[in-house]
Amino acid sequence: MPAIVGSFKIVNVGPSSIVQIGDAVQLSPNSSSKTFAGAGSFLTGDFANTNNAISNTNTFDPDVNDTNQVSEGNQGVV
């Protein structure tokens, strides 16, 4: 049902967020990210021990896309 919307201010929209004004049947936000980490970065536990004499994390990534983002499940009304 149409409605009259007054003035509003969008301060911040984060990744995987949707700003929707008006009617919608289905909204499906998507997000992707990449994490670089060196040796021992994700160790958890009480007595974590890593023996790495030289550690180097290569973050050079020449390709534009690593993978195509594919949504799963209902894709909305066609």
pLDDT of 25 higher than 70: yes
Output the pTM of the full model: 0.38
Q: What is the 3-state secondary structure (H, E, C) of the chain?
A: CCCCCCCCCCCCCCCCCCCCCCCCCCCCCCCCCCCCCCCCCCCCCCCCCCCCCCCCCCCCCCCCCCCCCCCCCCCCCC
Portion of the chain with pLDDT greater than 70, in percent? 79
pLDDT digits (tens, 9 = 90+) for 26-61: 877 777 777 888 887 888 888 888 888 877 777 777
d(CA 42, CA 2): 50
Residues 14-28 have a mean pLDDT of: 79
pLDDT at 76: 55
